[in-house]
């Protein structure tokens, strides 16, 4: 089952969320706190078939009305699913994570990590320098 189908299923089954707190509520109204790979997730049971979706994807979908393939937690905290902490992944080569600017991207089919920087401009310069020299 594709992710968009799982998101639609979660909505159809009655899962809800609070955009301000980043919490997802189960069918019994209780906050879901299950973890997988460092992320909070929803476990869906569709007539005995079990599916998982990440809570941040569900919150984004419920708020914006569409599925976004790649999302980032702005503050780097994978458990902080407040809607104002989620954004589309920006594949420009650098992004903010846990208060540091990370220069990381795909180049010639391989993942490249250049480093962690204090400012966006340092990360951008490192990204551009890498592209100039490789």
**pLDDT tens, N- to C-terminus, the chain (134 residues):** 999 999 999 999 999 999 999 999 999 999 999 887 889 999 999 999 999 999 999 999 999 999 998 888 877 788 999 999 898 776 677 888 888 999 988 777 787 899 999 998 999 899 888 888 88
Q: What are the tokens at 13?
A: 């089954």
Select the CATH number that applies to the domain covering 3-88 from these four: 3.60.70.12, 3.90.75.20, 3.30.565.10, 3.40.250.10.
Answer: 3.90.75.20
CB 58 within 8 A of CB 52: no
* H or E segment and range at residue 5: helix 3-13
Q: What are the tokens at 68?
A: 């976004």
* H or E segment and range at residue 104: strand 100-107
Q: Could you report how far apart the first and last alpha carbons of the chain are, in Å? A: 40
Q: Among 87, 85, 66, which Cα is nearest to 23's? A: 85
Q: What is the dihedral of CA 90, 94, 96, 98, to 10 degrees?
A: 120
Q: Are strands 94-97 and 86-88 parallel, antiparallel or unpaired?
A: unpaired
Question: What are the boundaries of each domain within the chain?
Answer: 3-88, 94-133
* Partners of residue 92 on adjacent β-strands: none
């Amino acid at each position: 089952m594709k992710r968009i189908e799982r998101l639609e299923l979660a909505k159809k089954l009655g899962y809800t969320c609070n955009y301000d707190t980043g919490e997802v509520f189960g069918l019994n109204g209780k906050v879901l706190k299950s973890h997988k790979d460092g992320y909070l997730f929803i476990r869906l049971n569709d007539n005995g078939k079990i599916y998982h979706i990440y809570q941040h994807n569900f919150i984004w979908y419920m708020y914006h009305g569409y599925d976004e393939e790649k999302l980032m937690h702005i503050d780097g905290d994978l458990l902080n699913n407040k809607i104002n902490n989620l954004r589309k992944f920006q594949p420009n080569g650098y992004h903010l994570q846990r208060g540091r600017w990370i220069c990381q991207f795909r180049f010639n089919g391989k993942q490249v990590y250049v480093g962690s920087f204090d400012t966006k401009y340092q990360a951008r310069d490192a990204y551009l320098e890498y592209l100039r020299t490789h």
